[in-house]
Amino acid sequence: MAPKHDVIRDVTNSTVDDVVHRRVLCPACGQKVFEMWPEGWDAHAEHRCAGLSGVTPEERKAEFKSRFRHLFL
């Protein structure tokens, strides 16, 4: 396991326990670092994440949560 200050860049085989309260690179766009996962994922997904195709904020959040459900409780 990486030290707490390191950014987790690949969450493919990660679980919630691996990433909670850790620094995580957005698995959709690879541009945003979440300073304490999962805080802020919803605002990022709604408006800024370039790795999503949904049109409305609701569609974008649903897409993000569906694709990365293994990172949520």
Contacts of 56 (CB under 8 A, 6+ apart): none
Contacts of 30 (CB under 8 A, 6+ apart): 51
Whole-number pLDDT of residue 18 = 97
Residue 50 belongs to some domain of the structure: yes
3 pLDDT more than 70: no
62 pLDDT more than 60: yes
60 pLDDT more than 70: yes
What does the pLDDT look like over 6-56, one tens digit per residue? Answer: 999 999 999 999 999 999 999 999 999 999 999 999 999 999 999 999 999
Q: Is 22 left (phi over 0), alpha (psi -120 to 50) or beta?
A: beta
Number of domains in the chain: 1
Residue 1 belongs to some domain of the structure: no
Residue 35 belongs to some domain of the structure: yes
Half-sphere exposure of 34 (CA within 13 A, CB side): 27
Whole-number pLDDT of residue 4 = 60
Residue 66 belongs to some domain of the structure: yes
What is the residue range of 11's domain? 7-71
